[in-house]
Structure 1
Amino acid sequence: MSADLIIVGGGAAGFAAALEAAEAGASVLLLEKQPDTGGSSAMSGGCLAFAGTDMQQAQGIEDSDDLLASDLRELGGGEADDALIGAYVSNQLATYEWLKAHGQVFSPVLEASSGQSVPRVHTVDPADMVRLLAARCRATGRVELRTGASAKHLLREDGRVTGVAVLRDGVLSELHAPRGVLLASGGFSRNPELVHRFAPDCAGAVFIGGAGNVGDGLRMAWHLGADFRDMPYIKGTFGKHPTDEVNDHSCLAVYKGAIAINQDGHRFVDESLSYKLLGAACLKQPYGAAFQILDDPILRSGDNQVRILDFERRLEEGLFLQADTLEELARQIEVPPEALTQTVATYNAAVTAGEDLAFGRRHLVHNHGALVRIATAPFYAYPSTAAVYGTYCGLRVDARMQVIDVFGAPIAGLLAAGEVVGGLHGSAYMTGSALGKALIFGRIAARTALGNAGG
């Protein structure tokens, strides 16, 4: 069996690449080892980081490629690959328009979140988005999807990747693709061995992700000498309720004005930082846990269209603790009342004075939003820990999504996109850039494969 291009992984990156290739006239074989498609993409918060869109312009939000690139570089802490930032930024607006042209509908509300200087969270229902891309792929008549197909190793001829060995229904077969193989197989948050190897500091985190995210693609490329990027910077996302088994997503009231306190009742971090850095700080606190403390106006400022800001639904589900006074709230969460009241009083004074001497917080999130006091009853606490939703690191690729080996050379015929790729995020993470890079890099990888059949 053969096709022009084989894609391993049926999430956003895989389907975006498949659709891009099919619309260019190529035949595509898309392999997904799970019974259903979607992976971590379908489980995500549905946030996409786009800049300069018509939605932003209509709402008077000034954003640009330059500001997006600047935010990504700042967040990356000097560790992100500037070529990948350039690839993301130069293709992001076209991908937004491409999604719209294929019928994708975005929530009308734009939010600012982790790492964003202006509101650029364009929200979708992620599972519906993957289903939409899959339907568009089927409509081309050029994409064959095989579920329950587990890729085992890559095939090579004369140094070039030409296919993949696949186990399906107990039968191992070899599939070939003259245009090469694209790995869109996700990360490894479901593989305790790899997590322990690369992220031992996350041992206390909650692990959430697609059931198939065990690092298959990473290992297959590793076997051929692929290099890695960003492995030391795996971090959990702050804001996951420790005992909530219904909602997979974090709650980030801190980005609307809440503060984070530990079990002793003290703040421990600048709450405007990337939620990856907040997660790392949280895991260092007693019991690896914290509380987000907020008042009624902050709770009411949430957005039920954005999963990480959907406060009222979580209140209805009983996940927030509520009290008429800070002292009563402190007793409910078993924090010293005098410590909590003093912490809030000190923070409110800092907001009034315009200077947070304790941790240097200046904005609600990154460089956006004026700080607000926590002063209007009722008061709320949201128990929070860190959750590893994705590993945000992986294979080293160039700006054309060719996988690069440990000696700095492309592995002929092998491309990668989505969570299996490292290099874009560096030491921290912008909301929407993971789902964004899945789509953007998937499309780039497909174009590279079709334009370079000979290597």
Structure 2
Amino acid sequence: MSKTTCDVIVIGAGIAGISTATAAREQGLDVVLLEKMPTIGGSTVMSGGWFAFTGTDEQQEEGVEDSIDLFREDLLNVGAHQNDPDLVDAYLEHQLETYRWLKNKGVNFGEVSISSGQSAARGHSTKIREVVALLHADFSERGGKTRLNARVTALLQDFSGRVDGVIINGDENLYARRGVVIASGGFSRSTELLKIFAPEQLAALPYGGAGNTGDGLKMGWKLGAGMADMSAVSGTYGSHPETTDEQQELLTAYYMGAIIVNKDGQRFIDESLDYKTLGAAVITQKDAIAFQIFDAGVRAQSHRGIALKDMDTLEDFGHLPSGNSLEELAELIEVPAEQLLKTVEEYNASIDAGEGDALGRTHLCNGVGELKGIVEKPFYAYPAKTLMTTTYAGLTFTPRGEVTDVDGEVIDGLFAVGEVTGGFHGAAYMTGSSLGKGAVFGHLVAQTLNHKEKDTHG
């Protein structure tokens, strides 16, 4: 009986899966890309579109001072040194090559900016839907096959235990000569898995691709795959309570000079920390909400259409209340005026005196940027919650993209890329390192598969 066989099966059509499939097809491999949803893109097309790279043309044009060593230091520091240094080094070794590969595919990188976990501007903005479309068009034009509404329900193994195929929609077998790549995303939409691994995050706003229910994680788990970073799962702080799948709102005015206060008008954390750490802290506050408080000087830094900075659009939505005094603002957001005024006065006074901030804040973002007082009217407030966008934890894997079991042994024939993996980020996350990870390790896995000896018994 004949078997339907290809070289490589890729599960999931977000940035990780499409990068893997495109790079593998580019190298002449017969690739089938499986996506369980009716459209490609997953959580990727719901993201802000930032990639973390260094040594780029855009950085050079902006006069940004950065280096591989600083990049490495930032990744390890934001990950609390809980990340696997071999994975970090693999990313750093191949990130510039991947950046150039993306540019050669027609990807345009716009603004270069500093953000969460970065001590130099290495966030490269993109129109992420265009990135996905460009890569997928390249894949298709080279003869790559994409199947939508194709949910993988199980992994197949041969007599030796090697993963050599998948079951699609419960009743169709597809086999792979070189390997199966799980790029199915995280589990931000799985109440079941959040209850197991991060129950406190159930208080966050659910977000991410509708297909992010942890299918790939469970399939790897069933085969004995190890897991990493599960205890670090956290949402991102900065989304309005009315944010929607169609119109994501995420503002990081705190990296531009805002402070964060709870419903009692009090600060409770150093606002320069990465937004995953901030997200975990906000969940513990009353009603799991906090307000970004800032003045006209910060408001003037808005950049329409750029994720994390677009205050103009937020104001258009009616989500950015303002007042000519802090007392007026406090009334609008139903925060005690006396306490808000006291909080801002104490914050401004510590800056003016050059004294230590009560919560340890010394800069705007990760040790960079001079603090400025909240003094210029009008004053603004952005009510925001923690958004459970992505889970950044999962299957353990090698720098070559091979999935490993609980003892650290490679599971033959099984690879993983992107948000379904764990070990790269550690305790927290740097802006741009998720899309960057998907593209970099996707490119790396394609190279691994290209050099992998064909299975001859399939």
Whether the TM-score (by the shorter chain) exceeds 0.5 is yes
Match in the other structure for 2:79 = 76
Q: Secondary structure at the match of 1:350?
A: helix
Match in the other structure for 1:124 = 126
Give yes or no for the alignment of 1:323 onto 2:323: yes
Q: CA deviation at 1:356?
A: 3.6
The equivalent position to 1:137 in structure 2, one of 122, 125, 139, is 139
* Deviations 1:181-238, CA, capped at 9 Å, x for gaps: 0000000111100011100111210010101111111111111100000000011100
Looking at structure 1, the residues matched to 433 and 72 of structure 2 have their Cα atoms a distance apart, in angstroms, of 11
The answer to whether the 8 A contact 2:401-2:444 is kept is: yes
Q: CA deviation at 1:372?
A: 1.2
The answer to whether the 8 A contact 1:92-1:440 is kept is: yes
Looking at structure 1, the residues matched to 306 and 441 of structure 2 have their Cα atoms a distance apart, in angstroms, of 24
Aligned 1:169-188 pairs, distance under 5 A = 172-188=171-187
Q: CA deviation at 1:453?
A: 2.6
Looking at structure 1, the residues matched to 125 and 378 of structure 2 have their Cα atoms a distance apart, in angstroms, of 30
Q: CA deviation at 1:353?
A: 2.6
Q: Secondary structure at the match of 2:412?
A: strand
Q: Secondary structure at the match of 1:385?
A: strand
Percent identity, aligned pairs only, is 46
The answer to whether the 8 A contact 2:347-2:357 is kept is: no
Q: CA deviation at 1:355?
A: 3.6
**Match of 2:46, as an amino acid?**
M
Aligned 1:25-424 pairs, distance under 5 A = 25-107=28-110, 109-141=111-143, 143-157=144-158, 158-167=160-169, 172-245=171-244, 247-424=247-424
Looking at structure 2, the residues matched to 63 and 357 of structure 1 have their Cα atoms a distance apart, in angstroms, of 28
Looking at structure 2, the residues matched to 425 and 25 of structure 1 have their Cα atoms a distance apart, in angstroms, of 32
Q: Secondary structure at the match of 1:178?
A: strand
The answer to whether the 8 A contact 1:44-1:249 is kept is: no
Q: CA deviation at 1:306?
A: 2.0
Q: CA deviation at 1:408?
A: 1.1
The answer to whether the 8 A contact 1:413-1:449 is kept is: no
Q: CA deviation at 1:250?
A: 1.4
Q: CA deviation at 1:247?
A: 2.8
* Deviations 1:7-26, CA, capped at 9 Å, x for gaps: 00011111111111111111
Q: Secondary structure at the match of 2:299?
A: helix
1:122/1:305 CA distance change after superposition, 3 Å = farther
**Match of 1:183, as an amino acid?**
I
Q: Secondary structure at the match of 1:340?
A: helix
**Match of 1:117, as an amino acid?**
S
Q: CA deviation at 1:121?
A: 1.0
Task: List alignment gaps of at least 5 residues for structure 2.
Answer: none
Looking at structure 1, the residues matched to 71 and 249 of structure 2 have their Cα atoms a distance apart, in angstroms, of 24
* Deviations 1:405-435, CA, capped at 9 Å, x for gaps: 0111000000000110111111111000001
The answer to whether the 8 A contact 1:282-1:386 is kept is: yes
Q: CA deviation at 1:150?
A: 0.6
Looking at structure 2, the residues matched to 117 and 306 of structure 1 have their Cα atoms a distance apart, in angstroms, of 20
The answer to whether the 8 A contact 1:52-1:62 is kept is: no
Q: CA deviation at 1:44?
A: 0.5
Q: CA deviation at 1:128?
A: 1.3
Match in the other structure for 1:13 = 16
Q: Secondary structure at the match of 1:119?
A: coil
Looking at structure 1, the residues matched to 134 and 448 of structure 2 have their Cα atoms a distance apart, in angstroms, of 24
Q: CA deviation at 1:129?
A: 0.7
1:300/1:19 CA distance change after superposition, 3 Å = same
**Match of 1:56, as an amino acid?**
Q
**Match of 1:24, as an amino acid?**
Q
**Match of 1:133, as an amino acid?**
L
* Deviations 1:75-96, CA, capped at 9 Å, x for gaps: 0112111111011111111111
Q: CA deviation at 1:302?
A: 2.2
1:61/1:305 CA distance change after superposition, 3 Å = farther
| Larger mean Cα displacement after TM superposition, 26-35 or 238-247 | 238-247
Q: CA deviation at 1:125?
A: 1.1
Q: Secondary structure at the match of 2:177?
A: coil
**Match of 2:43, as an amino acid?**
S
1:244/1:8 CA distance change after superposition, 3 Å = closer
Cα RMSD, aligned residues only: 1.1
Q: CA deviation at 1:454?
A: 5.6
Q: Secondary structure at the match of 1:218?
A: helix
* Deviations 1:432-452, CA, capped at 9 Å, x for gaps: 000110101111111112212
The TM-score normalised by the length of structure 2 is 0.96
* Deviations 1:61-88, CA, capped at 9 Å, x for gaps: 0111111111000001121111110111
Looking at structure 2, the residues matched to 372 and 137 of structure 1 have their Cα atoms a distance apart, in angstroms, of 48
**Match of 1:408, as an amino acid?**
G
| Larger mean Cα displacement after TM superposition, 55-64 or 237-246 | 237-246
**Match of 1:113, as an amino acid?**
S
* Deviations 1:281-318, CA, capped at 9 Å, x for gaps: 10111111110000011011122242111111111221
| Larger mean Cα displacement after TM superposition, 79-88 or 239-248 | 239-248
**Match of 1:235, as an amino acid?**
S
**Match of 1:393, as an amino acid?**
A
**Match of 1:241, as an amino acid?**
H
| Larger mean Cα displacement after TM superposition, 300-309 or 31-40 | 300-309
The answer to whether the 8 A contact 2:37-2:211 is kept is: yes
* Deviations 1:381-414, CA, capped at 9 Å, x for gaps: 0001101100010000011110000111000000
The answer to whether the 8 A contact 2:83-2:427 is kept is: yes
Q: Secondary structure at the match of 2:5?
A: coil
The answer to whether the 8 A contact 2:243-2:249 is kept is: no
